[in-house]
Chain A
Amino acid sequence: MTEQTQTPHASPAAEGSAPAGETLLEVTALVRHFPVTRGIVFRQKLGAVRAVDGIDLSVSKGQTLGLVGESGCGKTTTGRLLTRLDEPTSGRIVIDGHDVTHLRPGKMRPLRREIQMIFQDPYSSLNPRHTVGAIVGAPFRLQKLKPPGGIKRSVQELLELVGLNPEHYNRYPHEFSGGQRQRIGIARTLALRPKLIVADEPVSALDVSIQAQVVNLLEDLQDELGLTYVVIAHDLSVVRHISDQVAVMYLGKIVEVADRSSLYTRPRHPYTVALLSAVPVPEPVTSASGQRERRHRIRLEGDVPSPLLPPPACRFHTRCWKAQQICRTQEPPLAELAPGHRVACHFPENTGPPAESKTAT
């Protein structure tokens, strides 16, 4: 496939060339509150939407972290904070040894080459009035980079890399299907050879058959270019397929983090257990008489509470079937219950010996 065509820009710090296995992204106590105000002249602060309320994450080089949760749990806000498209309220984001938490836009710009984003909707994330060439070449122009062989050649190589026809350089986004547009978006993301890619629901807008194409493409690119991914998704099966580590978020907090197999075979937080049992399985359950039957699943009552007024202590206690008094008064810490498996719960599930595992793998 294509070789690295772009001049490797001077790495801003020596830590940049660390060996694999080293942490690329480190997030500590990250908080993003959106103030809710009233009035124009006399602004009153009514409260804050606690979109992200103190999360810790770390991702090693070449690894994929999956971030799952329901809508409103703060996973997208987290993604926007990581790429510094949004300003964190407090906390610390360190990418490749650089503290980027509160960098000004001018200082941030050179670092943007290292961190790129793949967006969810391939229809609204591409400018309909720009050609594919202009879209994929935009990062070079914005960063004032002159790749060897010119921008056009680099763009065509990028298009080929993501499985598009390089001759389509002059076409417009409307001439492509959803899956092809998502490939265009991925080509643009790759233009500057970033180290970290934050993909926010990269396949959820695509048809099932196309999803698999894009998932495979992301995996191939990771192997080929040594990329590190943070994949934000609500689809637990896609996350399992693509991630090395998985973090489950609920109302702005991480409730469980573990490596893939540990999380999916022995989920410990009741929320994760409920989430996994809610996923419809493409395998009909039939009784002996051939009648259709309902799969056993944990039914969570109600909806996710408002992040404006999250429940005190453990945020999941309002919907949890195991909740006790302590869950309403004392917040459970994110404790390491098994090596690499951290859970924030007073009464975790699946704590017995591994044979007891209830959830299908």
Chain B
Amino acid sequence: MPDALVEVQDLQIHFPTQDGLVKAVDGVSFSLDRGRTLGIVGESGSGKSVTSLGIMGLHQGSKAQISGHIRLDGEELVGAPPARVRELRGTKMAMIFQDPLSSLHPYYKVGDQIVEAYRIHNDVSKKVARKHAIDLLGRVGIPQPGVRVDDYPHQFSGGMRQRTMIAMALSCDPELLIADEPTTALDVTVQAQILDLISDLQSEFGSAVIMITHDLGVVAELSDDILVMYAGRAAEYGSAADIFGRPGHPYTWGLLSSMPRLDRERTTRLVPIPGTPPSLIRVPPGCPFHPRCRYAQLNGGRSQTEVPPLLEVTSGHLVACHLSAAQRTRQWALLSADKVAEGAGQPVLQGPVSPDPVPPGQVRQGGVET
């Protein structure tokens, strides 16, 4: 796609640690047009945040080893000089972080923080910048922006802080907005407000949005395309209709069937994904999901040895799984009919679920992500 705003190709982000190389992102590709939203879903440690930080160029200065391509509007960002990335950051791409309380400076007024961000990239007087800040605060729905601009972050509620972060991110009209779990720290009614706001602003500014979240509901509300990540790799990539209507990867099935849903009849029992996400230092050989996969045996051990390539199953819908199309259709039909598939079903109480904790001394990837 020549006119894609963002193009990520075979992105690899590895961190050398004392215990070995952490392959946080291991060959991820996607592209995103203006005005579209890409949802990246995955569990803690699946590499979704590392990917977004990589696009923003925020791994500079860390030991991260980045390879592959990230092109923003045709410009290569991997290996670009830090000064250039810094210039783009804010003007062309901006990010909203998960926790608005820790991303706002408690000592400075919210208005001043927006003014600072704006003046770094625009040569304007403080007065003009302040007017712009008030304007932005009003636009993201802060009541009485002319008064609240002089408030400190602690005087704002969680939802208002997140609105402020959005105002700051939008201050230079970025073409790409990355939202990393923007509503995880918020209550459900406030979450609904923020999601509506992001969606309104997107249609107003025509920017591309990358929405990173673990909440499939949030992704379904906002995304056009969805990338499901597991252990640093893409498990499945497709349109929202594909992922929710015809999911092709057992991991996506697992995510969908393990969550209780308000839009369906209550099931008597949730179907969890057994085990825990793998260590990114010792990613299981073959398909990284095979130790937790209920269907790994169906293909005569290929899952254990061969890494499944990300292949197109229907136009624009890519799945990295060894299951054949027929197997996939059959198993998903069984699962969605609320039946436990053959060879599946591992009741939680049946002995140790995952008798393999992280070896001593090794840092577990990811932590609490709420």
Q: Are B240 and A360 touching (Cβ within 8 A)?
A: no
Question: Chain A residues near B188 (CB, 8 Å)?
Answer: 70, 234, 236, 275, 278-279
Least distance between A199 CB and chain B CB atoms (Å): 15
User: In the complex, which of the residues B160, B241, B261, B370 contacts A281, with contact meaning CB atoms closer than 8 Å?
Assistant: B261
From A177, A240, A261, B364 is in contact (CB under 8 Å) with A177
| Closest-CB distance, A190 to chain B (whole angstroms) | 13
Instruction: Identify which of B78-86, B117-125, B192-200, B332-340 touches chain A.
Output: B192-200
User: CB within 8 A of A280: which of B190, B195, B364?
Assistant: B195
Q: Please measure, in the bound complex, the distance between the C-alpha atom of A172 and the C-alpha atom of B189, giving whole angstroms.
A: 39
Indicate whether A303 sits within 8 Å of B157 (C-beta atoms), given known contacts A215-B270, A278-B188, A278-B189.
yes
- The contact size tier of chain B is 35 or more
Scoring B residues 128 to 140 as 1 if CB is less than 8 Å from chain A, else 0, what string do you get?
Answer: 0000000000000
Q: How far is the CB of B214 from chain A (nearest CB, A)?
A: 6
A220-B348, A278-B189, A278-B191 are contacts. A209–B263 as well, Cβ < 8 Å? no
If A178-B368, A212-B270 touch, does A70 touch B189 (CB 8 Å cutoff)?
Answer: yes
Do the beta carbons of A211 and B258 come within 8 Å of each other?
Answer: yes
Residues of A within 8 A of B101 (CB): none
Instruction: Output the least CB separation between B340 and chain A (Å).
Output: 13
- A178 adjacent to B43 (CB under 8 Å): no
- Select from chain A the residue with minimum beta-carbon distance to B42: A207
Which chain A residues border B276 with CB–CB below 8 Å? Answer: 177, 179-180, 210
- Confirm or deny: A290 has a beta carbon within 8 angstroms of a beta carbon on chain B: yes
A216, B270: Cβ atoms closer than 8 Å: yes
Tell me the count of chain A residues lying within 8 A, CB to CB, of chain B.
Answer: 68
> From B216, which residue of chain A is reached at the shortest CB distance?
A282
Given contacts A208-B255, A360-B262, A360-B263, contact A175 B360 (CB under 8 A): yes
- Whether A237 touches B368, Cβ cut-off 8 Å, given contacts A215-B270, A278-B192, is no
Contacts of A282 in B (CB 8 A): 216-217, 219-220, 244, 256, 259, 261, 263
B43:A208 contact, CB within 8 angstroms: yes
> CA A177 – CA B364 in complex, angstroms?
8
Residue interface mask A213-224, B partner, CB < 8 A = 1: 101110110001
In the complex where A70-B187, A300-B189 touch, is A204 in contact with B370 (Cβ < 8 A)? yes
Residue of chain A at shortest CB distance from B200: A294
Beta-carbon contact of A163 and B254 below 8 Å: no
B215, CB-defined interface residue at 8 Å: yes
A276 at the B interface (CB under 8 A): yes
Contact indicator B360/A297 (Cβ below 8 Å) = no
A176 to B271, CA, bound (A): 22
Q: Look across to chain A and name the residue whose beta carbon is closest to the beta carbon of B217.
A: A280
B187 engages A280 (CB within 8 Å): no
In the complex with contacts A216-B270, A282-B244, A284-B244, A208-B216 CB distance below 8 A = yes
Find chain A residues with CB under 8 A from B359 CB.
Answer: 175
Chain B 201-222 against A: per-residue CB contact (8 Å), 1 yes, 0 no? 0000000000000111111110
Residues of A contacting B357 in the complex (Cβ-Cβ under 8 angstroms): 168, 171, 175-177, 180
| Contact between A213 and B220, CB atoms less than 8 A apart | no
Contact with B along A256-293 (1 / 0, CB 8 A): 00001100100000000011101111111010001010
Question: Roughly how many angstroms separate A282 CA and B219 CA in the complex, as a whole number?
Answer: 7
> Counting CB contacts under 8 A, is B272 at the interface?
yes
Asked whether any CB of chain A lies closer than 8 Å to the CB of B127, the reply is no
> Which residues of chain A come closer than 8 Å to B291, judged between CB atoms?
none
Per-residue interface assignment for chain B, residues 349 to 367, with 1 indicating a CB less than 8 Å from any chain A CB and 0 otherwise:
1111111011110001001
Q: Which of A174, A212, A240 has the most CB of B within 10 A?
A: A212
B67 within 8 A of A: no
A164: interface (CB < 8 Å): yes
CA distance A283 to B360 in the complex (A): 41
The verdict on B265 contacting chain A, using a C-beta distance below 8 Å, is: yes
Contact of A292 among B224, B259, B355, B369 (CB under 8 A): B224
Q: Are the CB atoms of B368 and A280 closer together than 8 Å?
A: no
Q: Is B273 among interface residues, defined by CB-CB distance under 8 A?
A: yes
Chain B residue nearest to A236 in the complex (CB): B262
Is B9's beta carbon under 8 Å from chain A?
A: no
Contact with B along A176-212 (1 / 0, CB 8 A): 1111100000000000000000000000110111111
Cross-chain contact of B159 among A171, A240, A284, A303 (Cβ < 8 A): A303
Whether the Cβ atoms of A217 and B349 lie closer than 8 Å is: yes
Answer yes or no: A141 CB below 8 A from chain B CBs.
Answer: no
Interface centre among B43, B240, B259 (most CB of A within 10 A): B259
In the assembly, what is the distance between CA of A294 and CA of B223, in Å?
11
Task: Give the residues from 18 to 37 in chain A that come closer than 8 angstroms, CB to CB, to chain B.
Answer: none
Is B191 touching A280 in the complex (CB atoms < 8 A)?
yes
In the complex, A295 has a CB within 8 A of chain B = yes
B266 contacts chain A at the CB level, 8 A cutoff: yes
A233 to chain B, nearest CB (A): 11
B residues in contact with A172, CB < 8 Å: 360
In the bound complex, CA of A185 to CA of B353 (Å):
16
A165 at the interface (CB under 8 A from B): yes
Given contacts A176-B358, A205-B368, A279-B262, 13 further A-B contacts (CB under 8 A): A71-B187, A171-B357, A209-B272, A211-B259, A236-B262, A237-B259, A237-B262, A278-B189, A280-B218, A281-B261, A282-B259, A284-B244, A286-B241
7 intermolecular pairs with C-beta atoms under 8 Å apart: A70-B190, A207-B43, A207-B214, A209-B272, A220-B348, A280-B217, A299-B193
Q: Which 4 A-B pairs have the closest CB atoms?
A: A280-B217, A212-B272, A212-B258, A209-B273
